[in-house]
Amino acid sequence: MPTWGMSIDLDRCDGCEACVVACRAENNVAPAGPEQAAIGRAVEWMRVERHVEGEFPNVRTRFVPVLCVHCDDAPCVSVCPVSATYENPEGLNAQIHPRCIGTRACAQACPYTVRYFNWGTPKWDAPLEQTINPDVAVRWKGIMEKCTFCVQRIRRAKDEAREDDRPIADGDVQPACAQACPAEAIVFGDLDDPESAVSKLSESPRAERPLEELGTGPRVFYLKEGDWRGSVGPQSSD
């Protein structure tokens, strides 16, 4: 049974936000609109945080794509009163929409602030609802939603592998964000398979797990930015 995980290389990421829109399009996340977005209600299962330090002209910027890290020991799972979120056997932090009653305790508990609430009913001006991906449920008002590691794609890959009577190969499953990224910064795969690309990247000296010290056991890890010190031999490249 695979344990799904993801690596995001911050040295490759250039902040283009292709992943943000790809995720939206794949998972039927409706835009909140200008008024709602202005008061902080935009839902973006994948968003890009920008960290800026320094003063002109010595400004250092880092782009960090942020999404649900599918914790092994998730704070959201403990606080949900109705078990609407749980860790499935493949390591995914799953959200059960019909069970959710909207206490938003999970959203407050999440240290990564990656859970989103449907304040109102998602709205699509006709005929934009035609773009809705039938593989993903549309949500309704009053419930939580968040990144699922594109579980619909995982399911599809498993179905196809089963049809062909073979195991899932590394690279068969590409969440929308990983597939779109031009810089190939996002790598997804089975952390339990030592040969998978994501497992190998997890051994990189640049790898760090976000907020690891909190004990959440995140399954998304970031590869720190590299350093160029004027050599053709590298400081931190793997």
Q: Which of 73, 169, 194, 212 binds another protein (CB under 8 A)?
A: 169
Token readout for 40 is 């902080």
* Residue 174 interacting with another protein (CB under 8 A): yes
* Residue 163 interacting with another protein (CB under 8 A): no
Minimum distance, C-beta of residue 192 to another protein, in the bound complex (Å): 20
Q: Cβ closer to another protein: 37 or 194?
A: 37
For residues 195, 72, 220 and 18, what is the CA-based torsion angle, rounded to 10 degrees? 120
Site string for another protein, 88-127 (x = CB under 8 A): -----------xxxxxxx-xxx-xxxx-xxxxxx---xxx
Nearest in space to 150 (alpha carbons), one of 2, 13, 28: 28
Within residues 120-159, the interface with another protein by CB under 8 A covers: 120-121, 125-135, 141-144, 153, 156-157
Instruction: Tell me the three state secondary structure of residue 142.
Output: coil
Q: Which of 3, 63, 94, 138 binds another protein (CB under 8 A)?
A: 63
Say how far apart CA 90 and CA 110 lie, in whole Å.
20
* Residue 217 interacting with another protein (CB under 8 A): no
Any alpha helices (H) in the chain, and if so which ranges?
18-27, 34-38, 75-79, 105-109, 151-163, 176-180, 197-202
